[in-house]
Amino acid sequence: MASKYSAFQLFKEGLKGHTGWEPAWQDKSPSPSYDALVIGGGGHGLATAYYLARNHGLKRVGLLEKGWIGGGNTGRNTTVIRSNYFYPESVALYDFALKLYEGLSRELNYNIMFSQRGIAVVAHSELEMEMAARITNAMQINGTDAELLNREQVLERVPLLNQNDDARFPIFGGIWQGRAGVARHDAVAWGYARAADKLGVDIIQNCEVTGFLIENGRCAGVKTTRGEIRAGTTGMAVAGNSSVLSAMAGFELPVRSFALQAMVTEPVKPCLDTVLLYMGTGTYLSQSDKGELVIGGGLDRIPSYGQRGNPPLQEEILSGLLEMFPAFGQLKLLRQWAGIVDVVPDSSPVIGPTPLPGLYINGGWGTGGFKAIPAGGWLLAHLMANEEHHEISRPFDMDRFARGRLIDEAAGAAIAH
Amino acid sequence: MMQRFSCPFCGPRDETEFFYGGEAGNERPEPAENISADRWAQYLHMEKNENGRAREIWVHLTCGEFFVMERDTVTHEIYKTEAFHGEQK
Ligand SMILES: Cc1cc2nc3c(=O)[nH]c(=O)nc-3n(C[C@H](O)[C@H](O)[C@H](O)COP(=O)(O)OP(=O)(O)OC[C@H]3O[C@@H](n4cnc5c(N)ncnc54)[C@H](O)[C@@H]3O)c2cc1C
Ligand SMILES: [Zn+2]
């Protein structure tokens, strides 16, 4: 079993030429049955497995991943963490996640490199400034940090921005959240995996769920490429594949799958020390520790399960980038990729029981679920262990669609991710 | 490279001229006053969200016509496009 990471251990291992490190988690084979089974080895699934053991003391927890852990959207996203949402339900959810993120490196004994460098969302007209003020007010009332910036304050933070008088999207000001930031995405997956493994969770890779065991109308486990596995309670957190799993279980979800793309440039000297999003172009970016600019934008226009981005949207994102930073026109792109995200009509997640008793879902995070991983895992674990909602997940139950109580964040927050 | 879709009326055009309208065959339940909240939510929001071959409604923004397109949502291969005459249940 992996030992505790510390500066002392690093020093000690260094003296031995770093030959003594043990694997951070064990690659297990499936047991025939578990008390709790989690489908999907992304951040949400891994966090769920961890909290099932850590918060609820479950001893026999299994996690099934069809590929390798963190190989889905958790390893493909642009790692922005923030809680600048509009509705109280959303702020309660995302700020809960942000608070857990603030203590996560210590909690997991794993450096997730959470850098709270702040996010600036830039507005381009008087009208957008009023929207920005409205969101800032809502955030403050909901108890999270937010500040309204004027033009000078934006430029102070990001001096390289396009300041030309004839800019298509002139800078009027913006919204600032100082506690927002970025983290190392793989480290979030690996940190939860290592901590879960330490608590006895079986992490099983290369094991695809192909169906559900349904007995007396209840989910009794799953069929997989490595045999049947029985479970007392089952949870799924499979992002863009949510509808594929729900079809196996016999119900539909309010989910449409799309590709969301991102790209990085060649590394350059430090030139951007916040996360930045333009309301006008929809393009957003941050600079990684290696110096690459990590760039993202909106969804592709075509529903898709093809894990690659479409050229028209790539062009849109890049033309947005050049409008924001004309100087970046000289940079070369190193990589471009996409993940399949599960988009819900009100841009809020679906967390709760499913029409198949004994099966719970954490999904529908669409373009923005990395920032929610600690909360998503906490809440799904709570549901699976107690068979009832935590007060924070209650509003995100699928029943909101029939009740008409949508939490329409796309319109409220005017932000892509 | 940009993909091209074929409008049944105008022929092959760039994908950016088209807009996705929804899954084919999702007919509005009638009469509205007899429809349960669950059935209505199903009609409005629930999706098959097919992985593979799918039958969908698209609109060609340039000419304004709605039509049916059958394509593979993984490979993006297009099987056929045809004029939309209203779907049978
Ligand atoms: C380009 C891009 C940029 C993004 N940027 C941000 C951002 O800046 N900030 C933010 O908060 N969010 C962002 N997101 C969204 C975020 O990445 C996701 O919402 C989040 O990672 C979802 O985590 P997850 O654990 O639910 O899913 P995933 O990490 O996708 O994990 C799901 C796992 O389930 C597995 N699986 C699927 N089907 C099966 C099966 N049948 N059996 C077993 N396993 C299965 C998959 O292999 C996968 O590993 C971005 C997404 C993308 C694609
Ligand atoms: Zn046409």
pLDDT digit string (tens) for A246-261?
Answer: 999 999 999 999 999 9
Pocket lining for ligand 1, CB < 6 angstroms: A 39-45, 64-67, 71-74, 76-80, 208-209, 237-239, 241, 245, 260-262, 296, 339, 341, 365, 367-371, 417
Ligand nearest to the CA of residue B66, numbered in listed order? 2
Chain segment B37-65, per-residue pLDDT in tens: 999 999 999 999 999 999 999 999 999 99
Cβ neighbors of A156 (< 8 A, separation 6 or more) are: none
Q: Does ipTM surpass 0.90 in this model?
A: yes
Q: Which of A77, A253, A347 maximizes ligand 1 atoms within 8 Å of its Cβ, making it the mutation to test the pocket?
A: A77
Q: Do B46 and A304 touch (CB under 8 A)?
A: no
How much of chain A, in percent, has pLDDT values that exceed 90?
94
Report residue A240's pLDDT band, with 50, 70 and 90 as the boundaries. very high
Cβ neighbors of A29 (< 8 A, separation 6 or more) are: A204, A226
Q: Do A311 and B1 touch (CB under 8 A)?
A: yes
Report residue B85's pLDDT band, with 50, 70 and 90 as the boundaries. confident
Report residue A213's pLDDT band, with 50, 70 and 90 as the boundaries. very high
Ligand nearest to the CA of residue A362, numbered in listed order? 1
How many residues are listed for chain A in this entry? 417
Rounded average pLDDT over A166-183: 96
Residue A375: CB atoms within 10 Å = 29
Task: Return the top range by mean pLDDT from A24-28, A237-241, B81-85.
Answer: A237-241
Match 């809020």 to its residue by tokens: A348
CA of B55 to the centre of ligand 2 (A): 18
Q: What is the pTM of this model?
A: 0.96
Cβ neighbors of A343 (< 8 A, separation 6 or more) are: A255, A256, A257, A258, A299, A364, A366, A367
Per-residue pLDDT at B89 = 45
Chain segment A277-312, per-residue pLDDT in tens: 999 999 999 999 999 999 999 999 999 999 999 999
Per-residue pLDDT at B8 = 96
Chain segment A84-130, per-residue pLDDT in tens: 888 999 999 999 999 999 999 999 999 999 999 999 999 999 999 99
Per-residue pLDDT at A413 = 56
Q: How far is A113 from chain B (nearest CA, A)?
A: 34
Match 């074929």 to its residue by tokens: B6
